[in-house]
Amino acid sequence: MPEKRLLDIRNLDAFYGAFQALFGISLYAERGETLAIIGANSAGKSTLMKAIVGLVTTRNAEIRFAGGELAGRPTQQIVREGIALVPEGRRLFRSLSVEENLLVGGHLHRPGPWSLANVYDLFPVLREKRHQPSTSLSGGQQQMVAIGRALMANPDLVLIDELSLGLAPIVIRDIYAALPRVTAAGTSAIIVEQDTSQALAVANRVYCLRGGRITLEGTPASLTRDAISAAYFGV
Amino acid sequence: MEWANVILQGILVGGLYALFATGLSLIFGVMRLVNIAHGDLIVLAAYVALLCVTQTSIHPLLAIFLVAPVMAVAGYGLQRILFNRTLGADLLPPLLVSFGLSVIIQNVLLQIFTADSRKLSAGAIETATLPIADGLAVGVLPLLMFVAAVAIIAALQFMFYSLPIGRALRATSDDPEVARLMGYDNRHLFGVAMALSLAVVAVAGVFLAVRANFDPALGPSRLIYGFEAVIIGGLGNLWGTLAGGVILGVAQAIGAKIDPGWQLLAGHLVFLAVLAFRPEGLFPKVDG
C-alpha cells in the first residue's frame, strides 16, 4: 500500500567526495509512524539523515516523499515540502535568542499545528527563557529549542539526529515524554539514537545500521536482544 | 575653542568614514567576505551620481535616491553572479575575486571618465554653517553626513534585530548549513546583504563626490579608512563602526592641527595602536 507511505527511500548510496558512506539503503515511513534508527558511531545514521534533506550527495537514489521525488533537489526546497531536521549537536543559532531561533524555524509559515504557544506548552521551560541567548541554556534545553525550531516549520516528518547524545538522563526522559504529543499532532518522526532502549520504547519500527548498510529491521516487539546486538555490533 | 572646533570637525568627518565602513562591516558580518573592491565601489557610486546629475540636472544630494537603488540592484546581481560562486570554507577565493574586481572597476572608470578629477557641486549648502557658540560653527554638509551615518546605522540595527529579514541574515551568518535546513536560500540572502551594502556605498559615494574631488584611483585609500574604522570599532558591531569612524576622524583632525602633514599619519597611528593593544577592537560584539 504505497499510498500510506510518507517517505519511501530505495537504493540510496551516499558519498563524501569519493568515499562511499551509505550502500543501497531502502527504508520507508508511514504517516503517523515513529521510526528509530539505531547503530554505533559512524554506522551512517547521520549521513542518512543528511542525505534525506539533500545535505549529502546521493547517487541512484529514489527518495519519494508525500508522492514527490526529493533526490537531487536543494535542501531549502526539501524543507518546504515538509521535512525538518534537528541536526546532530543541536546547532542553534548562537547570536539569536531562544524565541528568535523558534521564529526562524517557522519563517516559511507552513500551515500546521505548531506555533510558538504550542512549542512553549510542549517544553514549558523555554517560555521562561524565551528572551535569553540560546547559548545560555543547558544542553537539554538547547535540544528542546532545536526540536521546537524544527516543529515550528510544521513538517509532516521530523528527523531528530542523536536525540540523547551528551544529555543528562533526566532531560532525555523529559524529551522522550514529549514525543508522543508530537506524533499525536500528526507529525511523523525518525529518531536517530545510540541509546537503543529509549528509542525502542517509543518507536513503531526500528532500523539498525552498521557500516553504511541496514543490518536489521522490524518492530521492537519482534526483535530479540540478541538479534539487535548482532545487528548493532556485527557479532 | 579652537581645539573644540578641531574635535567637532573630526567627529563629523568620522560620520563619512563610518559610511565607508558600514557596508564593509555588514558584508564581512553576514558572509565572511572581505571586499577589497569596497572603496572602488564607493568611487563607482560617485561616478554614477555624476552621470545622474549631468543627465537629469537633479541636485547632487537628491541623486542619492537614484544612485542607491541602482547600486543595490547592481550589488544583488554582483553577489548572485560573481561572489556566491567564490564563497566556501576558504576565505581566500572571495578575497582574490574582490581584488580582481577592484582592478577592473578602476580601469573601466579610467577608460570612460579619464584620470581627471571631478567633483559634484551642491551649491550653497557646501559652505553653509550653523553657529553653535561664539567662535564655534558646524558646516551643514558635514553635519548632514554625520546625521545620515547615524540614521543608516540605526536603520540597519533595527533591521538586524527587529525584522524577520534581519533574523534570517543573522541566522545565516551563524550557521549557513542549518539556515538552509530552515528553508532559507542563502544565495538570495547574501544577495540582499550585498544590495544593502551597496545602497550604503551609494550614500557614501555621493557624499564623497560632493565633499571633495574624486578620480578613478581614489578607491583603495577609502577602503583603508573603512577597514580602519571597522577594526577600531570592533567587528560585527555597527555602532562600534560609527565610533571607529569618529575616532579616526578626530585623530586625523588633531594630527592636522599639529602639523598638516600629520593628518593621515595620526589616523593610521591610532589604528596601529588599537591593533597592537586591543586587536578585537574597542567595542567588539558580545557573543554569549
Tens-place pLDDT, residues B110-125: 999 999 999 999 889 9
Residue B42 neighbours by CB under 8 Å, 6+ apart: B20, B201, B204, B205, B208, B219, B222
pLDDT reported for residue A41: 87
Task: List the single residue in A76, A96, A100 with the smallest CB-CB distance to B183.
Answer: A76
Distance from CA of B55 to the nearest CA of A (A): 43
Mutate to test the interface with A, among B182, B187, B237 (most CBs of A within 10 A): B182
- Mean pLDDT score of chain A: 93
Tens-place pLDDT, residues B142-164: 999 999 999 999 999 999 999 99
Higher pLDDT residue, B207 or A225? B207
- Mean pLDDT score of chain B: 94
Which band of pLDDT confidence, cut at 50, 70 and 90, is reported for residue B287?
A: very low
Distance from CA of B39 to the nearest CA of A (A): 29
Helix or strand run (H / E) with residue A229: helix A225-233
Polymer length in residues for chain B? 288
Task: For this complex, say whether ipTM is above 0.90.
Answer: yes
CB-based contact A208:A194 (threshold 8 Å): no
Distance from CA of A47 to the nearest CA of B (A): 14
CB count, 10 Å around CB of A81? Answer: 18
Closest-CA residue of chain A to B175: A93
Inter-chain touch A96–B177, beta carbons under 8 Å? no
CB count, 10 Å around CB of A11? Answer: 14
Q: Residue A191 forms beta bridges with which residues?
A: A36, A160
Tens-place pLDDT, residues B189-210: 999 999 999 999 999 999 999 9
Task: List the single residue in B182, B185, B288 with the smallest CB-CB distance to A105.
Answer: B182
What is the mean pLDDT of the segment spanning A106-116? 95
Mutate to test the interface with B, among A75, A97, A135, A149 (most CBs of B within 10 A): A75
* B175 neighbourhood in chain A, CB within 8 Å: 91, 93-94
Task: List the single residue in B179, B184, B287 with the smallest CB-CB distance to A95.
Answer: B287
CB count, 10 Å around CB of B177? Answer: 13
Three-state SS for B283? Answer: coil
Distance from CA of A173 to the nearest CA of B (A): 26
Task: List the single residue in A84, A85, A93 with the smallest CB-CB distance to B174.
Answer: A93
Polymer length in residues for chain A? 235
Tens-place pLDDT, residues B23-35: 999 999 899 899 9
What are the C-alpha distances in Å from A94 to residues A88, A167, B187, B190?
15, 19, 21, 19
Res. A2: pLDDT tops 80: no
Distance from CA of A202 to the nearest CA of B (A): 25
Hey, what domains does chain A have and what are their CATH numbers?
Answer: 34-43+82-233 (3.40.50.300)
pLDDT reported for residue B284: 80
pLDDT reported for residue A3: 57
The helix-helix angle for B92-113 and B219-233 (nearest 10°) equals 140
Closest-CA residue of chain A to B170: A95
Tens-place pLDDT, residues B219-272: 999 999 999 999 999 887 899 999 999 999 999 999 999 999 999 999 999 999
Distance from CA of A141 to the nearest CA of B (A): 16
d(CA B131, CA B137): 4
Distance from CA of B181 to the nearest CA of A (A): 6
Residue among A222, A177, A225 at smallest CA distance from A204: A222
What is the mean pLDDT of the segment spanning B35-61? 96
Closest-CA residue of chain A to B162: A100
Inter-chain touch A55–B185, beta carbons under 8 Å? no
Buried b (16+ CB within 10 A) or exposed e, A87-117: bbebbbbbbbbbbbbbbbbbbeebebebebe
Inter-chain touch B168–A84, beta carbons under 8 Å? no
DSSP structure string for A178-219: HHHHHHHTT-EEEEEES-HHHHHHH-SEEEEEETTEEEEEE-
* Cell numbers linked to A81: 515540502
HSE (side-chain half, CA atoms, 13 Å) at B243: 15
Which band of pLDDT confidence, cut at 50, 70 and 90, is reported for residue A109?
A: very high
Q: What is the DSSP letter of A31?
A: T
d(CA A4, CA A210): 28
Q: In percent, how much of chain A has pLDDT > 70?
A: 99
HSE (side-chain half, CA atoms, 13 Å) at A22: 29
Inter-chain touch B170–A93, beta carbons under 8 Å? yes
Task: List the single residue in A74, A91, A96 with the smallest CB-CB distance to B170.
Answer: A96
Distance from CA of B271 to the nearest CA of A (A): 28
Residue type, B284: P
* Cell numbers linked to A120: 512553549
CB-based contact A47:A22 (threshold 8 Å): yes
Tens-place pLDDT, residues A52-96: 999 998 988 899 999 899 988 999 999 999 999 999 999 999 999
Res. B288: pLDDT tops 50: no
Task: List the single residue in A79, A85, A96 with the smallest CB-CB distance to B171.
Answer: A96
d(CA A2, CA B70): 53
Inter-chain touch A55–B175, beta carbons under 8 Å? no
Tens-place pLDDT, residues A160-189: 999 999 999 999 999 999 999 999 999 999
What is the mean pLDDT of the segment spanning A198-213? 93
Write out residues 105-124 of A within 8 Å (CB-CB) of B: 105, 107-108
Q: In this predicted structure, which of A139-148, B45-54, B274-283 has the lowest mean pLDDT?
A: B274-283
CB-based contact A190:A48 (threshold 8 Å): no
* Cell numbers linked to B38: 569596497
Closest-CA residue of chain A to B286: A95
Res. A114: pLDDT tops 70: yes
d(CA B284, CA B274): 12
Res. B286: pLDDT tops 70: no
Classify strands A19-30 and A5-16 as parallel, antiparallel or unpaired: antiparallel
Place of cell 530505495: A10
Residue among A207, A209, A160, A208 at smallest CA distance from A183: A160
CB-based contact A206:A219 (threshold 8 Å): yes
Helix or strand run (H / E) with residue B25: helix B2-31
Inter-chain touch B184–A91, beta carbons under 8 Å? no
Inter-chain touch B183–A93, beta carbons under 8 Å? no
Pairs of residues, one from chain A and one from chain B, whose beta carbons lie less than 8 Å apart: 66
Inter-chain touch B167–A107, beta carbons under 8 Å? yes
A222 Cα distance to chain centroid: 23
Tens-place pLDDT, residues B206-218: 999 999 999 999 9
pTM of the model: 0.92
Inter-chain touch A96–B167, beta carbons under 8 Å? yes
Residue among B107, B74, B101, B73 at smallest CA distance from B86: B101
